């Protein structure tokens, strides 16, 4: 019965958007063509009685997404950081989805805490407040440890959240498969793989033990980052549905009036949040992948404090180098090199024209330079990029989804702090520093040293590997190996020995 259930869920989605008045608002915000607006409303109108009413005291889009549940709320959180895409009015309305959703009862929170910690709440905490923040998946309470009088934040998952997400993810899978069936051209975007990736991320976010582990690793990586701080996890007071950490005092990064009143430089904060993200992604390959305003504060000292580590991104070293070279190529306006990197990494099919792709990239990049950043339409830029990827047969890279999404979110946060910010100018020193340290002769020497370390571990087995290669090259005949088979085997063995020699040379040159 999954199919009918998912169809009904998608119908309810459209009906809720129409019933709450969000359909017209969303279509206008995205500047949808008149035909699309009319078609969507005509399809949804007969079913609007099936839609949720929601809270009539809040604006239409916020009302609809809140009524539809946590997966839709996540979508709204992303849009709230992009006033350049949806307009300032809608972005402001959606911002309440970050941490100001209706909370569940304190009694239910205490019940879960007691169950997870194996002892009554009163035994552990001297006080336990009403919810101070409520988001799509969990809510946070301020508490004081009875043993030390230390103020802490206690995060508790929403009851029934797992089942609610499973229902929506099933519907998303159904929609993705339907789109792939009805529109073969959409398969290059791999919508089903995208939903699978989203599912993996969400399921990890629903186990707070994994979030605590992520916070610990992130803290170790960023310990020496100036102007950046993280709360510390209290492991003995954390479990699958409950996480306790030190309390972080500060102003919300999305409250510009409060930041101005406190004397903080918003332009500098915007630059710093963007550079911190790029540094974590390129330097560490491990970054906070949910960096909207609801997860960031500014301490009295001016430090940016990040929390909520349920969604973290990881990219391997090779992908980092590719990403850095692409960014650096855009910064240097070397579109030919950007195109070559796409082909070398396999992002564009090898049978496409690299020169034509370079010209298309130039059309994307050139409008950015020499212009006031506030005059650049990111919506039109993203629309043109989509046309370029379709024309050149690029497929969605699921391993880069979080990186791409977080780049969009962080840029939106930076723009909300400083509308005039130019992301390319701000990114340049971080990317150049990474390029200098990780791409070039010394970096190649380090890579050879790593190769040496691997080969040294396998050194004692090398004679056996060569012997087995020779035996396989001559099988199934018992006669001496044929030259056509023997040469590749000897070439492989010689390559291994040459690799060891080159690695030793590199080791001594470093």
Query: Catalytic site residues?
Result: 290
Q: What are phi and psi of 56, to 5 degrees?
A: -70, -10
Q: Which helix (DSSP H) or strand (DSSP E) does residue 157 occupy?
A: strand 151-157
Question: What DSSP assignment string belongs to 236-280?
Answer: GG--SSEEEEE----EETT-HHHHHHTT--HHHHHHHHHHHHHHI
DSSP-derived 3-state class of residue 87:
coil
DSSP letter string, 341-385? HHHHTTSS-TTS-HHHHHHHHHHHHGGGTTS-GGG--HHHHHHHH
C-alpha span between 44 and 64 (Å, rounded):
14
Residue 233 is given by DSSP the state B
Residues 6+ positions from 272 with CB-CB distance below 8 Å? 227, 304
Look at strands 151-157 and 242-246 and give their pairing.
antiparallel
Q: Residue for token digits 């119908």?
A: 11
CA distance linking residue 38 with residue 214, whole number of Å: 46
Q: Which residue has the tokens 């707070």?
A: 208
For helices 462-474 and 441-458, the axis angle rounded to 10 degrees is 80
Helical ranges in 125-207 per DSSP H = 161-182, 191-205
Measure the CA–CA gap between 268 and 369, rounded to whole angstroms: 21
Taking alpha carbons only, the member of 92, 13, 21 closest to residue 56 is 21
CA distances from residue 466 to 452, 488, 495 in whole angstroms, order as listed: 18, 11, 11
**What six digits make up the tokens of 32?**
């949808």
DSSP assignment of 212-231, as one string? Answer: HHHHHHHHHHTTT-TTEE-P
34: number of CA atoms within 13 Å, CB side?
Answer: 0
Residue 152 in tokens = 């802490």
For residue 357, give the nearest of 371, 345, 370 by alpha carbon.
345
Phi and psi torsions of 288, nearest 5°: -70, 120
In terms of Cβ atoms closer than 10 Å to its own Cβ (0-12, 13-18, 19+), residue 247 is: middle
Chain CA centroid to CA 39, Å: 32
Distance CA 12, CA 9 (A): 5
């Amino acid at each position: 019965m999954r199919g009918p259930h998912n169809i009904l869920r998608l119908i309810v989605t459209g009906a809720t958007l129409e019933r709450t008045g969000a359909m017209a608002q969303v279509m206008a915000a995205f500047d949808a063509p008149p035909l699309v607006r009319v078609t969507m409303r005509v399809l949804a109108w007969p079913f609007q009685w099936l839609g949720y009413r929601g809270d009539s005291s809040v604006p239409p889009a916020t009302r609809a997404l809140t009524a539809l549940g946590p997966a839709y709320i996540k979508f709204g959180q992303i849009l709230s950081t992009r006033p350049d895409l949806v307009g300032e009015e809608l972005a402001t309305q959606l911002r309440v989805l970050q941490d100001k959703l209706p909370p569940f009862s304190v009694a239910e929170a205490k019940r879960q805490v007691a169950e997870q910690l194996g002892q009554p709440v009163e035994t552990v905490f001297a006080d336990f407040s009403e919810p101070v923040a409520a988001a799509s998946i969990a809510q946070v309470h301020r508490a004081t440890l009875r043993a030390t009088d230390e103020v802490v934040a206690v995060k508790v998952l929403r009851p029934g959240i797992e089942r609610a997400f499973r229902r929506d993810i099933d519907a998303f899978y159904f929609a993705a498969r339907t789109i792939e069936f009805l529109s073969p051209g959409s398969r290059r975007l791999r919508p089903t793989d995208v939903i699978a990736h989203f599912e993996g991320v969400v399921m990890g976010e629903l186990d707070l033990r994994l979030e605590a582990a992520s916070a610990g690793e992130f803290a170790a990586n960023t310990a020496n980052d100036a102007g950046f701080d993280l709360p510390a996890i209290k492991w003995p007071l954390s479990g699958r549905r409950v996480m306790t950490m030190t309390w972080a005092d500060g102003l919300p990064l999305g409250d510009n009036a409060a930041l101005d009143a406190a004397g903080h430089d918003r332009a500098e904060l915007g630059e710093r949040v963007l550079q911190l993200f790029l540094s974590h992604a390129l330097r560490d390959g491990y970054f906070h992948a949910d960096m909207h305003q609801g997860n960031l504060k500014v301490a009295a000292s001016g430090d940016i404090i990040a929390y909520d580590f349920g969604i973290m991104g990881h990219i391997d070293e090779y992908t980092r180098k590719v990403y850095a070279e692409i960014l650096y190529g855009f910064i240097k306006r070397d579109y030919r090199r950007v195109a070559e990197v796409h082909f070398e990494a396999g992002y564009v099919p090898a049978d496409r024209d690299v020169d034509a792709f370079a010209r298309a990239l130039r059309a994307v990049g050139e409008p950015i330079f020499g212009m006031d950043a506030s005059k650049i339409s990111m919506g039109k830029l993203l629309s043109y990029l989509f046309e370029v990827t379709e024309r050149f047969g690029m497929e969605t890279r699921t391993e880069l989804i979080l990186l791409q999404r977080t780049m969009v979110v962080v840029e939106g946060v930076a723009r909300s702090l400083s509308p005039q910010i130019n992301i390319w100018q701000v990114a340049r020193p971080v990317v150049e520093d990474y390029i200098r340290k990780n791409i070039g002769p010394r970096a190649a020497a380090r890579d050879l040293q790593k190769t040496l370390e691997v080969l040294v571990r396998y050194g004692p087995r090398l004679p056996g590997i060569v012997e087995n290669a020779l035996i396989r090259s001559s099988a199934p005949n018992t006669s001496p190996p044929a030259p056509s088979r023997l040469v590749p085997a000897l070439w492989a063995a010689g390559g291994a020995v040459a690799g060891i020699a080159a690695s030793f040379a590199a080791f001594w040159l470093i």
